[in-house]
C-alpha cells in the first residue's frame, strides 16, 4: 500500500468523505449526512476515521450510554477499495482500546445475519453472538447481537 495509515477522531469537515464512504460501503440502512452530522457533533459518541494517506478509507462510531459500562459499536466501514487488508481490524481495535480507556467492560454491536465478512471480523476479535432479532432490518433480514468482554 505504501501510504501512511492514521486513525484519528472524526472532524466535521470529514463529513463529505464519510458520506461518500458510507454510500460505497453499505447497500442497506445507510446513515444520512444529517445523521452523521448529529453523531459527530452532538451525540454521546466517539467517531474515528482511518486515513490512508489523505484518503478516508474507514470510519467507525462508538455510542456511550450514561451510567453504563457497556460501549456500543454503532457503525464500522472500510471503503471497498481498501477492504481485505486488515484495516477493519485496525479500526475495530482502536474502538476497543477507546472503550477500555473509558472504563467500559463490555462492547456490543448489531450486525445483519447475512453479513459474513463483518461477522468473521467480529468473531476473530473475540465477539460472541448473544441474541438474534428476527426481521430487524428494512428488507426483512435478521440482526445478530454480538458482545465482547473487554
Ligand X SMILES: CC(C)(COP(=O)(O)OP(=O)(O)OC[C@H]1O[C@@H](n2cnc3c(N)ncnc32)[C@H](O)[C@@H]1OP(=O)(O)O)[C@@H](O)C(=O)NCCC(=O)NCCS
Binding site for ligand X (CB under 6 A): 25-26, 76-78, 83-89, 111, 115-118, 120-121, 124
Least distance CB 27 / ligand X (angstroms): 9
Q: CB-wise, 77 or 95, nearer to ligand X?
A: 77
Q: CB-wise, 91 or 104, nearer to ligand X?
A: 91
Q: CB-wise, 85 or 106, nearer to ligand X?
A: 85
Q: CB-wise, 77 or 104, nearer to ligand X?
A: 77
Least distance CB 150 / ligand X (angstroms): 18
What cell numbers appear for 58 in the block?
Answer: 474507514
Least distance CB 129 / ligand X (angstroms): 13
Print the SS3 string covering the chain. CCCCEEEEECCHHHHHHHHHHHHHHCCCCCCCHHHHHHHHHCCCEEEEEEEECCEEEEEEEEECCCCCCEEEEEEEEECHHHCCCCHHHHHHHHHHHHHHHCCCCEEEEEEECCCHHHHHHHHHCCCEEEEEECCCCCCCCCEEEEEEEC
Least distance CB 100 / ligand X (angstroms): 20
Please identify the residue of the shown chain whose CB is closest to the bound ligand X. Answer: 88
Amino acid at each position: 500500500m505504501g501510504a501512511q495509515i492514521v486513525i484519528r477522531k472524526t472532524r466535521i469537515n470529514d463529513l463529505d468523505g464519510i458520506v461518500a464512504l458510507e454510500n460505497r460501503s453499505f447497500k442497506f440502512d445507510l446513515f444520512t449526512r444529517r445523521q452523521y452530522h448529529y453523531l459527530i457533533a452532538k451525540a454521546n459518541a466517539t467517531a474515528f476515521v482511518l486515513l490512508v494517506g489523505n484518503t478516508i478509507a474507514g470510519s467507525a462510531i462508538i455510542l456511550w450510554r450514561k451510567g453504563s459500562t457497556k460501549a456500543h459499536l454503532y457503525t464500522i466501514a472500510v471503503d471497498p477499495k481498501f477492504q481485505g487488508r486488515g484495516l477493519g481490524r485496525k479500526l475495530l481495535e482502536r474502538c476497543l482500546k477507546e472503550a477500555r480507556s473509558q472504563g467500559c467492560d463490555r462492547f456490543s454491536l448489531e450486525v445483519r445475519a447475512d453479513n459474513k465478512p463483518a461477522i468473521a471480523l467480529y468473531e476473530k476479535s473475540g465477539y460472541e453472538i448473544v441474541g438474534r432479532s428476527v426481521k430487524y432490518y428494512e428488507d426483512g433480514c435478521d440482526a445478530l447481537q454480538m458482545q465482547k468482554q473487554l
